[in-house]
Amino acid sequence: MINQAISSHAMKVVHIAPHFNNCGNGVVNVAVDLACMQSRIGIDVVFVGAGGSFRELLTREGVTVHSIEVSSKRHLLSTYRNLRRVVGEFDPDIVHAHMIPGALFAYVLKRGARFKLITSVHNSGRFGTPLMSVGDISICASNYLAAEMRARGIPSRKIRVVLNGPLGSPRESSSSRDVTLKRPAVITIAELVTFKGLGDLIAAFSIVAAKSRDAHLYIVGAGPERSKFERQALASSCADRITFCGSIADPASHLRSADIFVLASHREGFGLVLAEARQAGCAIIATRTGGIPEVLDRGSAGILVPAHSPAHLAEALTHLIEDADLRQTWRANASRNLEWLACLRAAKETLSVYNEACGVSA
C-alpha cells in the first residue's frame, strides 16, 4: 500500500486552499487532486477553503470539508479561531498550505502543535512567494520554481520538487459533451490578465488571420481584464473570428475539438493546462518561460517561442495552420510520454515528502 510507511496510525492531513470552486484555478485544482488521491490511498484528509462546487466531489471521495474564508483580510480573528478549532479537533500529522495566507495561519497555529507544515509554491514571480518558506518543507511545482526560491535565499534543504500531475484527476468528467469548433481552431485557456499573454496572442492571431481566412481563435477563461482584450479583438481586422467563451468548468471537450493550443504567458510556474492540452492531442505552441519547457519535455512535445513576442508567435501559428502534416506531427509529439504527468504519481511523491517531514523512512 502506498502509505505503508506510516506504521503507528493512518496519516492525517489538512489541506488549506483559497477555495474549492471549479473555476479553472490551477492552485485549487492541484489541491483538490491531492486531497482526493490521498483519500483514495487511505489517508484521512480534511480540506479547508472558502467554499465552492468541488464540495460534492471532495465529499464523495471521502474528504471532510470545512468552509472557511482563509484569504479574507476582514475576518482574520474569526478565520484564525475556525482554523484553530479544525486543526485542534483533527490533530493532523501534516498541514499542507497552498497559498500564503493559509501558510501564515498554519505557521502561527504550529506553535505547541505536533503537525509538520508543508507549503506548495505554485506560481512564479510573485512578491510574497518567499513567505511560503515558513513551512518545514516547501514543495515546488517545477524545477524552475525551485531555482527561483533558491535565488531568493531559501535554503535547498527546505525545498523539494514535485511536478504537477493533472492527468487521471478525480476532477475529470466522463460525461463532457463534444463541441464543434470552426477549423482550423486555435484555442487558449487562461485567466484573462496581462501576464497570461492574451494581448500577444490576439496580436499574433491578427497577423495570421490576414493570410489564413478560415482560422478561428477561441479564448476560454474569465478574468478582470476581459473587457480590455475584447476591445483589442474588436479593433482587429478579424474580430468575427475571435470568440470569448468565458469560464468553462470542464474544457476538455473544447481541447479535443481544437487543432492548436497556445499558452502565451509572460510567467508561469508550471502550466497545468498544457498537460491537459497534450492529453487532448493538440499541437501546442507556448512561451519559453518559467516551468513551461518542463511540461513540454523541453520542446519535444510543443513548439517554444519567446515571451512578449507576437511576431514569433504568429510565425509558429502560420506554419501549423498552413501545413496540415506539420500540425499532425506536433499533435503526435504532444501525445507521447504522458505517464509522468499522472495524478497518482504526484500524490505518491507528495506522500514521500510528508513521510520525510515526519521522520518516517519509506
Amino acid 125: pLDDT: 74
How many C-beta neighbours within 10 Å does residue 251 have? 23
Q: How far is CA 339 from the centre of its chain?
A: 17
Contacts of 93 (CB under 8 A, 6+ apart): 6, 11, 12, 13, 114, 115, 116, 354, 358
All domains of the chain in start order, with CATH: 12-165+342-357 (3.40.50.2000), 185-340 (3.40.50.2000)
Rounded CA gap, 62 and 40, in Å? 8
Burial (0-12, 13-18, 19+ Cβ within 10 Å), 132: buried
Q: Could you tell me which of 194, 213, 186 has the C-alpha nearest to residue 286?
A: 186
Rounded CA gap, 362 and 350, in Å? 12
Give me the count of residues in the chain: 362
Long-range contacts, 286-290 (Cβ 8 Å, 24+): 286/262, 287/197, 287/263, 289/265, 290/124, 290/125, 290/142, 290/144, 290/145, 290/265
Amino acid 335: pLDDT: 98
Task: Give 10-residue mean pLDDT values along the chain (362 residues).
Answer: 46 95 89 96 96 94 96 86 96 96 96 95 78 95 95 95 96 78 96 97 97 95 97 97 93 95 97 97 98 98 98 98 97 98 96 94 58
Q: Could you tell me which of 362, 360, 332, 361 has the C-alpha nearest to residue 93?
A: 360
Amino acid 22: pLDDT: 87
Amino acid 71: pLDDT: 82
Amino acid 3: pLDDT: 42
Rounded CA gap, 234 and 297, in Å? 36
Looking at residue 177, what DSSP letter applies?
A: P
